[in-house]
Chain A
Amino acid sequence: MFGVTALLFAALQFLSPEMRASLYIKDPRQLSAMEAVIEKYGLRKPLPVQYGIWLKEVLKGDLGYSETAKMPVERAIRAFFPATLELTLVAFLPILVLGVYLGTLSAVYKDRWLDHLTRFVAITGYSLPSFVLGLLLLMVFYGKLQLLPPGRYSLDVDLLVHSEGFRHATGLLTLDCLLNGKPAAAWDVFKHMILPGATLIYINLALLLRITRSSMLEELGKDYVRTARAKGLPGSLVVKKHALRNALIPVVTLSSLLFIGLLGGVVITETVFDYPGIGRWGVVAAQQLDIPGVLGSTLLAATLFVLANLLSDILYAVVDPRIRIG
């Protein structure tokens, strides 16, 4: 984590002191006093000193004011993160279930039509850029069928969500709408997630499919599987209880990385569908050189990634008892 902040800080050195000063500004009124800010945070002082000052601010949770979000960075993260989390949850479960299920089937029925179909899905999904798929989906389901619009919710839901008395219990809007007794609004929010969700599923399914398939193939070729079969165990039992258990180990790592990767910002998909999450915010911030915004979203993504590695280490031990934590 220390390294992550150092690298980001180093990248910033390409910018002028004036631009970097925006990192320390908490509200727009301070813009007029730019020179004072530069002075206060020692932006013309030697680098290590600057870095120390900046790190202290970050640790206080003070990440500056994001011009593009029109609010301080820590509030922007709190506003955008639940949207991304919700989308990630909607997309991740099908990816996991379909990926493991189809990957296993594909390995069991190797070189049959099901295997070929799955591999076709995998290689096309792997080769299709998300913006191409997203635009095509929008064209068909929004342009032609007028069914699934981009954005996060329709206008009336927008009003509802921002009205007095709407309680934001979880931050996940679908749940919140249900908790507030508005199933129609919940459906509306969910409808907006179908297209970006589908895009994410198709694109990311490929990776999980491939890993499951190849790991499963490797296990199925091993001696203990032959022994189990020779004992007369039914084929499905051998696959489920013996081979799959062992084949899941690389799948676990990959899926925890995938989950966090999605959380850290599904940059393109969110941009295409105009979905107000972390990824789109980060890109808009980058395009308009809103440095605090870029730093905030990037730091978040990197932090999540470090957590993901920890998580996958722990999951390892759960899936494979031979590995001990500690």
Chain B
Amino acid sequence: MSLLGFGLISFFFAVSLAAPVIAPAPPNSRDPYLIPQDGYSPDPVLPGPRHWFGTTEQQYDLYYGMVWGARTAFRVALSVVLVSLAIGILLGGIAGFYGGWVDEVLMRFTDIILAFPDLVLAVVIVSVRGPGLDNVMLAVTAVSWPSYARLLRGEVLSVKERDFVLAARALGGSDLRLLFRHIIPNSIYPLLVVASLSMGRIVITAAALSFLGLGAPVGYADWGQLISLSRNWILGTSGNPFAYWHTVFIPGATIFLFVLGWNLLGDAVRDILDPRQR
């Protein structure tokens, strides 16, 4: 199973690396992330030799969108996780290490953010700052870091009492050195497990924001945005309800496989780092 996850993610990674080769941008394009349009007809076109995955309304090519969308997906998922992890490690580490009022202030702040349902708070942030991919990343980061900070603080609290920390301090290590060289490296594993498990959630949340029309503008290679285009076509034509099945199915299946890959991979990481669950 974990092999499947690894395979899926490697596949998507390869696709995103090879994007300029397997889906070359048209020569006159300003930005390769803008999906080329083949005419402006409002009706989607079924998959065929001209468009392997068919087109959406306004003739955006789905194949192109899926390939370049993989880059968008990686960019969003990785930057959100890395930035949230960095914030979580910094604030969680400081709160756990210094304790006292610093701890109190920081943890009450995370409590407040954790009191909101993820998606609701993210929607509020994006709607206040205006739609766009950057603001989606910002919003998802803003709702992701508190749980990391929480977790790391708990670990730091127990690790900082151990003897080797005392030894390092006796040798004259500064606070900073103690925290970043000794304590955090020894308390970071549970955090990595949680981070790898939360990758899938982050992708879904970001895609959901795009789906709600708060993410990338129409025509940008972003999976969530492409599936929101399909909403008008789920009923097909009269007499043939599945006429435009591909507009839902292709981006839907792509997001599903991407998230599935991360989840399987996350499970694998947990099994390796946390043998109790076996």
Give which listed residue, B212, B242, B252, B276, contacts A283 with CB less than 8 A.
B212
Contact of B248 among A127, A132, A282 (CB under 8 A): A132
CA distance A211 to B135 in the complex (A): 33
A292 within 8 A of B: no
A235 proximal to B (CB < 8 A): no
What residue of chain A has the Cβ atom nearest to residue B251's Cβ? A132
Chain A residue at smallest Cβ distance from B248: A135
- Asked whether A143 and B235 contact (CB < 8 A) given A4-B112, A298-B116, A305-B117, the answer is yes
Q: State the majority secondary structure of interface residues on A.
A: helix
Instruction: Assess whether A139 is in contact with B117, with CB atoms less than 8 Å apart.
Output: no
If A136-B249, A136-B252, A294-B127 touch, whether A268 touches B242 (CB-CB below 8 Å) is: no
**A143-B242, A287-B127 known; A129+B208 contact, CB < 8 A:** yes
Residues of chain B from 76 to 119 with CB closer than 8 A to chain A in the complex: 108-109, 111-113, 115-117, 119
The complex places the Cα of A15 from the Cα of B276 at a distance, in Å, of 49
Mark contacts of A1-28 with chain B using CB atoms, 8 A cut-off: 1 yes-contact digit, 0 otherwise: 0011011100110110000000000000
- Taking the closest CB of chain B, its distance from the CB of A230, in whole angstroms, is 24
Selecting from A38-46, A84-92, A246-254, A259-267, the interface stretch reads A259-267
Known: A282-B120, A287-B214. A15 touches B128 (CB 8 A): yes
Assess the B242–A144 pair: CB atoms within 8 A: yes
Whether B112 lies near A3 (C-beta < 8 A) is yes
Q: Which of chain B's residues have a CB closer than 8 A to the CB of A131?
A: 207-208, 211, 227
Report B-chain residues with C-beta under 8 Å of the C-beta of A306.
Answer: 115
Q: A135, A286, A297: which contacts B126 (Cβ < 8 A)?
A: A286
> CA–CA, A3 to B113, complex, Å?
9
- CB pair A294 B124 closer than 8 Å: yes
Q: Is A128's beta carbon under 8 Å from chain B?
A: yes
- Nearest B residue to A221 by beta-carbon distance? B276
Is B159 an interface position by the 8 A CB rule?
no
CB-contact partner of B263 in A15, A126, A261, under 8 A: A126
**Taking CB as reference atom, which chain A residue is nearest B276?**
A218
**Least Cβ distance of B120 to chain A in Å?**
5
Asked if residues A129 and B259 are in contact (CB atoms below 8 Å), the reply is yes
Chain B proximity of A235: nearest CB distance (Å):
22
| B131 CB to nearest chain A CB (Å) | 8
Give the Cβ gap from B13 to chain A, nearest Cβ, in Å.
18
Interface centre among B119, B249, B256, B277 (most CB of A within 10 A): B119
**Cβ–Cβ contact A132 & B127, under 8 A:** no
A135 with B227: CB separation less than 8 A: yes
Which residue of chain A lies nearest to B1 when distances are taken between CB atoms in the complex? A123
Q: Let me know if A37 is at the binding interface, CB within 8 A.
A: no
Contact A132 B116 (CB under 8 A): no
Instruction: Give every chain A residue within 8 A of B108 (Cβ-Cβ).
Output: 3
Q: Is A51 an interface residue (CB 8 A)?
A: no
Q: Which residues of A from 185 to 206 have beta carbons under 8 Å from B?
A: none
In the assembled complex, which residues on chain B have CB atoms less than 8 Å from the CB atom of A214? 277
Say how far A276's CB is from chain B's closest CB, in angstroms.
16
Instruction: Report whether A143 and B236 are in contact in the complex, using a CB–CB cutoff of 8 Å.
Output: yes
Contact between B120 and A297 (Cβ–Cβ < 8 Å)? yes
B67 close to chain A: CB less than 8 A: no
Q: How far is the CA of A257 from the CA of B208 in the complex (A)?
A: 21
Question: Do B128 and A267 touch across chains, with their CB atoms under 8 A apart?
Answer: no
A12 to B129, CA, bound (A): 10
A132 touches B256 (CB 8 A): yes
Which of A128, A218, A265, A286 counts the most chain B CB atoms within 10 A?
A286
Q: Ordered nearest first, which 5 A-B pairs have the shortest CB separation?
A: A143-B241, A286-B127, A132-B252, A3-B112, A127-B260
Q: Could you give 19 example pairs across A and B, Cβ below 8 Å?
A: A4-B115, A7-B112, A14-B129, A15-B128, A129-B211, A129-B255, A129-B256, A131-B208, A131-B227, A139-B235, A139-B236, A143-B241, A265-B117, A267-B123, A271-B212, A282-B120, A283-B123, A294-B124, A301-B117
| Given pairs A11-B125, A271-B212, 15 additional interface contacts (CB within 8 A) | A3-B109, A14-B128, A126-B263, A127-B256, A131-B227, A132-B248, A135-B248, A143-B236, A217-B277, A283-B212, A286-B212, A294-B123, A298-B116, A298-B124, A305-B115
Query: Contact residues of B with A, CB < 8 Å?
Result: 108-109, 111-113, 115-117, 119-121, 123-129, 200, 204, 207-208, 211-214, 227, 230-231, 234-236, 241-242, 245, 248-249, 252, 255-256, 259-260, 263-264, 267, 276-277
Binding site for B on A (CB under 8 A): 3-4, 6-8, 11-12, 14-15, 123-124, 126-132, 135-136, 138-139, 142-144, 214, 217-218, 261, 264-265, 267-268, 271-272, 279, 282-283, 286-287, 289, 294, 297-298, 301-302, 305-306
